[in-house]
Amino acid sequence: QVHLVESGGGLVQAGGSLRLSCAASGSIASINVMGWYRQAPGKQRELVARITSGGITNYLDSVKGRFTISRDNAKNTVFLQMNSLKPEDTAVYYCTAEGRSVGVVGVEYFWGQGTQVTVSS
């Protein structure tokens, strides 16, 4: 079983910054892609950013230039630096990972419990 533990969420004023962290632990054989999704009230879940083990990144258009995703492969940890936050960034942010568990054949997808980010205007 692989577990993702998130931290760094909270309340911040518009224009402020937050840094989210997520560490994968458990029976990990390998982790390829890690990323962040978010879901705001009344809206569909959307992919915010993702990063491969080789450092290739993708971002939601609305966060480009404001958010930066990075990772520490040795520690199976992913970060999301969020700058110039806007009220519309308010959502529950979920850490995700794609990889393989020890003793399990095939790729699996793992999800964190979610962390609340609230941006006030």
pLDDT in tens, 38-97: 999 999 999 999 999 999 999 999 999 999 999 998 889 999 999 999 999 999 999 999
CA 108, CA 38: separation in Å to the nearest integer?
20
Q: How does pLDDT run across 1-26, given as a tens digit for each residue? A: 899 999 999 999 999 999 999 999 99
- Assign residue 26 a region (left: φ > 0; alpha: ψ between -120 and 50; beta: otherwise): left
What's CA 95's distance to the chain center, in Å? 4
Task: Give me the pLDDT at residue 52, please.
Answer: 96
Task: Give me the pLDDT at residue 1, please.
Answer: 82
What integer is the mean pLDDT of 99-109?
94
CA 67, CA 83: separation in Å to the nearest integer?
6
End-to-end CA distance of the chain: 40
